[in-house]
Amino acid sequence: MRLIGFPILVFIVLLISSSCKPAGPPTDLTKESIIPKPVSVAKTGSSFELDDDTQIYVAHDSLYFLGQYLSDRFKSATGFSVPVKIGSEAPGAGTIFLTTKPDQNLDTEGYALIITEDYIKLSAPELHGIFNGIQTIRQLLPAIIESVAVQKGPWLISSGVIRDYPAYHWRGSMLDVARHFFSVEDVKRYIDLISYYKMNVLHLHLSDDQGWRIEIKSWPNLTNYGGKTEVGGGEGGFYTQEQYADIVAYAKDRFVTIVPEIDLPGHINAALASYGELNGGTVISQEGKSSEKQSQDIGKEPQRPKLYTGIEVGFSTLRIDNPSTFKFVEDVIREICAITPGPYFHIGGDEAHVTPKQDYIAFINQFKKIVRKNGKKMIGWEEIAQANIDDEDVVQHWKSIQYAKTAAAKLGRIIMSPSTVAYLDMSYDSATKFNGKKIGTHWAAYIEVDSAYRWKISTAAPGIYKDYLLGLEAPLWSETISTMDELEFLAFPRLPGYAEIGWSPEDNREWSEYRVRLGKHGAKMKAMGIDFYRSPNVEWVE
Ligand code: TNX
């Protein structure tokens, strides 16, 4: 029986074969999906091919490690061992040339990328810009360049010119390693992932009621006892000072500044549980309620509260009238500052609900002196705006914009982490689950990928002088997550949007355009093995 006429059959075969034909080489640089969106992109209509003859040339020794970093990014997926050579001549055919040169319009983190059929030239005023330009090159290659196994090419990049630099210098994320501990390897992977999107700050929340996560040599019980559990009663963990230094060095090579936080004077139960002398004679009636009743007899009968594994906040505090308190604070800040090359120390300062207000203010003023004495600038959560803030201090907004305004009126600098749009621990919606387990919380809001993207730093901080706004941080609190996969599921795909909010010109961003670009990053995130949330608001290309 003849079901389809011959001409129709030919037509269908032609149709199928034409739709299966591999796409031609990419030639339109303006159509590529780069996140964060670059400041300017111009196309020239051809493409460069990375192949087994490609060589990387760097203009001088100090660029060598970046050339090697780029070569390493190519290795697994292409199977090519792209050699890195030092040579100051102009780029020859088949080369990727990295060079630094002054360019007043590019800023300290900016870069210029010229891609021709014959070569790629990446130049920047500083090494940080070269690193950022390398991330752009990675994103311009086919998504499978991020695969760990060898893939089939060709490895083509559209030609043209990109000039790019950030709107804000503080583009970061905070990771809470206190509520649940995350290993050195996990933290390094997170550094790799955030820096792929040109973020440059990782704030580590290193202590809280549930655990103390960084070795303090003069107070060893903090980790030997106070680091041994976490939310839900798991085994916890901590970083030795050497491991912390290893994280810091890894971050430095990726132009990420580590900001260590020790949360004071509240969120301190793990320390009180480790050293009764810090708790003074406080009467403890039940787990997690160490400050329910404060005895007047400090030091009389040091009682340690139990380690805490729940998720309440605001119940613990240091005591300002306790002689041990500042010995402890001085030692902790001194030891951590000594192994932190970055310019900041974060003293926490949030939710000190059981610290009397005058004591709280006195505490912050004193912490600031100690931080300065150790050569760092103080950062604190927004409540520190109540203390003596000046233009060297940084205040991190999370809930009440009034505190940020108060801080700015005192000349303080502001990091924006508005919990209703920028908290990575908020669920996407009421059904958010990973592998059948509900994760995330929603005390501030449900944050779908579009609402995470649709805000601006400057309008979220009305009335604050723009020069005082350092940028943004997306905090990832870990009460509900304990594995790297769960971490990734909450961070992605919102984190690339935060990276773009901090980097790209504010008036040149549109959700309707961004969602298409983000959809194309599905394939890249998949190739990187990221367990990301497939938001129904995005058409994923994988
Ligand atoms: C509030 S935000 C906190 C944290 C919690 C978080 C949970 C802030 C400065 N403090 O202690 O982990 O909410 O979303």
Of 230, 335, 351, 488, which one is the catalytic site residue? 351
Residue 336: which pLDDT band, with cuts at 50, 70 and 90? very high
Looking at residue 194, the DSSP 8-state letter turns out to be H
Report pLDDT digits (tens) over 408-467: 999 999 999 999 999 999 999 999 999 999 999 999 999 999 999 999 999 999 999 999
Helix (H) or strand (E) holding 422: helix 419-422
pLDDT given at position 1: 40
Residue 7, pLDDT above cutoff 60: no
Average pLDDT over residues 482-493: 98
| pLDDT above 80: residue 293 | no
Query: What is the DSSP secondary structure assignment for residue 291, as one 8-state letter?
Result: T
| Amino acid code (one letter) for 38 | P
Question: What span, in angstroms and rounded, lies between the C-alpha atoms of 332 and 273?
Answer: 16
At 255, list the tokens.
């132009």
Select from 350, 479, 490 the residue to mutate for testing ligand 1; criterion: most ligand atoms less than 8 Å from CB: 350
Percent share of the chain, pLDDT over 90:
87
Query: Above 60 in pLDDT, residue 281?
Result: no
DSSP 426: B
pLDDT at 91: 76
Q: Decide if pLDDT at 19 tops 60.
A: no
Average pLDDT over the chain reads 93
How high is the pLDDT of residue 304?
84
pLDDT at residue 403 greater than cutoff 90? yes
Query: How far apart (Å, rounded) are the C-alpha atoms in residues 182 and 179?
Result: 10
pLDDT of residue 10: 47
List pocket residues of ligand 1, CB cut-off 6 Å.
313, 350-351, 381, 398, 423, 425, 441, 477, 479
Condensed to tens digits (0 to 9), the pLDDT of residues 139-185 reads 999 999 999 999 999 999 999 999 999 999 999 999 999 999 999 99
Q: How confident is the model at residue 92 (pLDDT cuts 50, 70, 90)?
A: confident
Check whether 12 has a pLDDT greater than 90.
no
User: How does pLDDT run across 46-67, given as a tens digit for each residue?
Assistant: 999 999 999 999 999 999 999 9
* Average pLDDT of the segment spanning 364-380: 98
Q: Give whichever of 2-11, 82-91, 157-166 has the largest mean pLDDT.
A: 157-166
- Which among 538, 490, 536, 495 has a CA at the least distance from the CA of 514? 538
What is the three-state SS of 432-460? CEECCEECCECCCCCCCHHHHHCCCHHHH
* C-alpha of residue 484 to centroid of ligand 1, in Å: 20
Tokens, residue 273: 């549980």
Residue 292 annotated in active site: no
Distance 477 CA to ligand 1 centre (A): 7
Residues above pLDDT 70, as percent of the chain: 91
How confident is the model at residue 5, as a pLDDT? Answer: 54
Q: What is the CA radius of gyration of the chain?
A: 26
Decide if 255 contacts 200 (C-beta within 8 A). Answer: yes
Q: Are 493 and 518 in contact (CB under 8 A)?
A: yes
Residues in Cβ contact with 156 at an 8 Å cutoff, skipping those fewer than 6 apart: 25, 26, 47, 48, 49, 50, 141, 142
Report the residue among 477, 478, 481 best suited for mutation to probe ligand 1: largest number of ligand atoms under 8 A from its CB: 477
User: pLDDT confidence of 130, banded at 50, 70, 90?
Assistant: very high
Atom of ligand 1 nearest to the CA of 398: 2
Is residue 97 predicted with pLDDT exceeding 90?
A: yes
Cα three-residue angle 277-280-285, rounded to 5 degrees: 115
Whether 86 shows a pLDDT value over 60: the answer reads yes
Cα 63-99-76 angle, rounded to 5 deg: 60
Distance CA 507, CA 487 (A): 31
| Residue minimizing CA distance to atom 13 of ligand 1 | 477
Q: Hey, what are 125's tokens?
A: 């005023």
pLDDT one-digit tens code per residue, 510-532: 999 999 999 999 999 999 999 99
The whole-number average pLDDT for the span 297-306 is 65
DSSP per-residue string spanning 205-274: E-EETTEE-B--TTSTHHHHTTTS--GGG-----B-HHHHHHHHHHHHHTT-EEEEEEEESSS-HHHHHH
Which residue, judged by its Cα, is nearest atom 4 of ligand 1? Answer: 477
Using the mean position of ligand 1's atoms as its centre, give its distance from the Cα of residue 98 in Å.
42
CB atoms within 10 A of CB 198: 25
pLDDT recorded at residue 40: 98
User: Whose alpha carbon is nearest atom 10 of ligand 1?
Assistant: 350
Is the Cα dihedral 106, 493, 350, 208 positive or negative? negative
| Nearest CA owner, ligand 1 atom 8 | 350
Cα-to-centroid distance, 337 and ligand 1 (Å): 24
| Ligand 1 centroid, distance to 171 Cα (angstroms) | 19
- Dihedral angle, C-alpha 42, 520, 164, 528, nearest 10 °: -140
The confidence band for 224, taking pLDDT boundaries of 50, 70 and 90, is very high
Would strands 469-476 and 170-176 be described as parallel, antiparallel, or unpaired?
A: parallel
| pLDDT average, residue stretch 181-190 | 98
pLDDT at residue 375 above 80?
A: yes
Burial 460-492 (b: 16+ CB within 10 A, else e): bbeebeeebbbbbbbbbbbbbbbbbebbbbbbb
- pLDDT higher than threshold 60 for residue 305: yes
Asked if the model's pLDDT at residue 106 lies above 50, the reply is yes
CB–CB of 200/256 below 8 Å?
Answer: yes
Beta bridge partners of 58: 86, 98
Which residue of 351, 478, 481 sits with most ligand 1 atoms within 8 Å of its CB, as the best mutation to test the pocket? 351
Structure-token pair, residue 347: 């003293």
